[in-house]
Structure 1
Amino acid sequence: MPAVIDRVEAIPLRIPLKPDLPGAALWGAPIEAADSLLVKITTSDGVVGWGEAFGLYGTGLAEQALKELVAPLCLGRDATDIPALMDHVQRRLHVFGRGGAITYALSAVDIALWDIAGKRAGVPIAMLLSAGHRPRSLPCYASLACYTDPDRVRAAVRRVVDDGFGAIKLHESGLPAMQAAREEAGPGIALIVDAGCAWSLTQAQGVAADLLALDLMFLEEPLWPPENFGGLAELRRSTGLPVSSGENVGTVLEFERLLEAGAVDFVQPSPAKMGGVTELRKVFPLAAAHGVPVMTHSFYDGPGLLAAIQATAALGGAEGMVEWRWFDQQASIYGDALATTDGRIPVPDGPGLGVDPDPEVIGAYRC
């Protein structure tokens, strides 16, 4: 039975970080709390779905885009035909660009509608995406904030290794911080570095020997600008460094160009940035055709994370890993319902995304 979208609600959250590991930052800006933008959709038959828009410092922009542009185009429309609705909204709003805050807001709506679709069918989203075998849990890596100072980096790395993680991502562009992480982690821990588009091709080639000595699993977004696909391909060719990219790629067509350029060893679509589950699911077969594993970007804690988990469980194959944002916050959006154990994260088997946000956490940290 068709159901229409009756209500679209933006729910911004701010959850403080615990104070016992000071110095957290993201590319030079100190952070004391994690901001999230959840989106709650209610249909005419009373089904509720949850989505998430990428935000960080731009959470307010995504919220404004949702309220002023995206939500009005969704209200009253059929919630059961997700591709048609997404196409409708994208065509109406493409003049404002095919990425950024508008696409983040649309991503949240799409994720929420997939949550509703799974709930109406009584199955997790992974079953809607694939009828094949789905793992009960997935390997994940601890994705840290930027700590810059080698001693603070060591402290953070020690915490996550002691928590049982076998893989760690740094958000660092300084070699001393990276080297401190490798020394503290030891050779048995997989190390990933997100350089945050820090270097030109020549600069990256100049530090390649030092990076190779770190034995990285992959180097994420090393070059500015991030759409320099030819430069990424040349960096791989000339240095042998394993390279990843994709969180700032906004459309499937751009992913096709990225892959055709031979730019990456791992491709990183971001469900809360590129259009939700509808667009994310298209990247997996495209990447497989190029022999490149998908390593979803999920540097968030809510429905966007669950969308990445459900899609990876259904489509990711044996090489799929999940990014777990390790901010050591005072609370989790899902309370005790979602947690990692020994470097693995469960694939929730409830309908839709598998679990709903904890209403007590929303009540306490809504801003």
Structure 2
Amino acid sequence: MPHALAGRLALGVLLHGSGGHWAGWRHPEAHAAGQLDYAFHETLARELERGRVDVLFRPDLLAAWGDGPGLHRSARADHFEPLGLLSGLAGATRHIGVVATGSTTYWRPAQLARRFATADLLSGGRAGWNVVTSVLPQEAANFGRAPVPHDVRYQLAAAVLDDVRHRWDLAHAGDRALLAPPQGHPVLFQAGSSEAGRAFAARYAEVVFTDQRDLASARRFYADVKERVRAAGRRPEHVQVWPAFWPLVTATDEEAPRQVAALRALVHADVARQWLEENLGLDLSRHDLDGPLPEIPPTDRSEGRRELLLRMGRERSMTVRRLAEHFLSRQIVAGTPATIADHLQEWYEERGADGFMVSFPYLPGPLVDFVDHVIPELRRRGLFPDAYEGHGLRENLGLPRHPLARGGRRV
């Protein structure tokens, strides 16, 4: 089965200003207030472009990032609106793709079409849309609505996305009332591991985020998505699979476990409980954090993440606290640049990934270390290019352009 980018992997970076680890902001070398520091985001974006990273991705929720007693122990509660932030960062960079989240549950098709076409125009053809269905009750409450059931969310997402793409096609066909994105369509990103999420990805997605715990699971997911894409009448090499990946460069491999343990120790009990509650859809305040996992009834939360958590907790007989602490740090691959490059190379060559969505536990140090040491190691192995090859995000990712696209000129 061919890779989407034959001969080299793709790299995107998920950028939380305070770091990807929930307790990363507490690290003594972190910029704890980075979430609302625009100048800091500009510096990080330029560092990533210096490393020729393909994509800068800003996640989003349509509510405060967190709830309950853990809220005041988080550095993510306040966050920039992603399209506004990335429009600014597009002006501070020249090549890196800029990807933002947009909700098909709460945003209208006309809003989505116009906003992402604008982002594509402002960036000169470098925009991507992370299509989400918005799962949290707090998000629904902000719009005066009840949460939408899981399968209904995906049905709505399909209808909204069909409408948005039709508007972009009309714009390219000459409808002057609509904005035409330079790429034709901004690149469509999507994360969903449930049955409904994978079916949606096979029909629409061009880059699929996934959260896999080991290479065997990643290979199964990769093969399943590619086969679904083929069955949907699309070319598998036109859909890329990017597992989540948290690198932490250390001077020696022996030092790595100590640094991961230090991050894990920063997770406060309130944060551990809150994070599990949000992902399991269950109030855990009456349960002992150091007791076994309680029975978890079905909910309308993300099915893929929920099932992964429950399977891991029960297979390893974890307590509530241990499950949260482990899961919040489990994706970290710590070690020397060669060790980290080994991991990326193995997953890529063994058909577990076309690329990776990288998240750094805290910022800025691990990001700079990755650019300075891991990316050069990938280049030495022939796995990553020295320069941007194309003039827009689609070209740099090797994805097909819309037949009526007009190019990626900056406006």
Shorter-chain TM-score range: 0.3 to 0.5
Of structures 1 and 2, the one scoring higher in RCO (CA 8 A, sep 6+) is: 2
Return the TM-score normalized by structure 1.
Answer: 0.37
Q: Greater strand percent: which structure?
A: 1
